[in-house]
């Protein structure tokens, strides 16, 4: 599975594959659940889930954070929607009001296609603070990024998502 992540993310740049090289497992992330799709060629797609509280503006909010999204290169354009539809019943069972995830801006077209059906919303202009998976005395313990923030209403309406331009993950990125 780690080799699959390295191949999937490596195609977008060596830096993106780096967390999955060597013996590191999950690049510091510890998903509570994961969905892995296989076909005759091996791992086809993957998505991880972690329930956590995030802070949106001044509001603490329980979410199911989605991460470690990966689709094998020959299946791009098919996997994210299918992975989400597979995960959706589990998110409902867990009773989280929202699922939340972040992706690189380069994946805007893929995520925008997913959002067209109303299953999710891209939140523009929202930055995300995360704890770094490795802490060094001479570097800050957190980073602030400007990714595409995607919100999936699960047990609540998107109108109930708190306003705010900063999300604090209260931990490392999944």
Give all domains of the chain, ordered by start, each with its CATH number. 1-168 (3.40.630.30)
Cα–Cα distance for residue pair 18/20, rounded to 1 Å: 5
Q: What is the pLDDT of residue 18?
A: 54
Model confidence band, residue 29 (pLDDT cutoffs 50, 70, 90): low
CB 151, CB 161: distance < 8 Å: yes
Q: What is the pLDDT of residue 47?
A: 85
CB 65, CB 34: distance < 8 Å: no
Helix (H) or strand (E) holding 66: strand 59-71
Question: Is it the case that residue 7 has pLDDT exceeding 60?
Answer: no
Strands 33-39 and 148-153, bridge-based pairing: unpaired
Model confidence band, residue 2 (pLDDT cutoffs 50, 70, 90): very low
Cα–Cα distance for residue pair 76/93, rounded to 1 Å: 28
73-77, 131-135, 163-167 — which is least confidently predicted? 73-77
Question: Is it the case that residue 27 has pLDDT exceeding 50?
Answer: no
Question: Is it the case that residue 42 has pLDDT exceeding 90?
Answer: no
């Amino acid at each position: 599975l780690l080799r699959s992540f390295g191949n999937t993310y490596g195609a977008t740049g060596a830096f993106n594959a780096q967390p999955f090289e060597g013996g590191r497992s999950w690049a510091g992330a510890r998903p509570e659940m994961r969905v892995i799709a296989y076909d005759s060629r091996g791992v086809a797609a993957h998505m991880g889930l972690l329930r956590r509280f995030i802070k949106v503006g001044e509001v603490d909010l329980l979410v199911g954070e989605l991460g470690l999204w990966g689709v094998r290169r020959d299946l791009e354009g098919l996997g994210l929607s299918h992975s989400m539809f597979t995960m959706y019943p589990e998110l409902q069972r867990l009773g989280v009001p929202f699922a939340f995830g972040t992706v690189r801006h380069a994946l805007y077209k893929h995520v925008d296609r997913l959002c067209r059906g109303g299953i999710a919303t891209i939140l523009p202009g929202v930055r995300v603070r995360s704890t770094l998976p490795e802490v060094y005395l001479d570097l800050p313990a957190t980073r602030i990024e400007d990714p595409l923030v995607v919100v999936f209403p699960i047990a609540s309406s998107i109108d109930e998502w708190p306003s705010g331009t900063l999300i604090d993950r209260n931990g490392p990125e999944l």
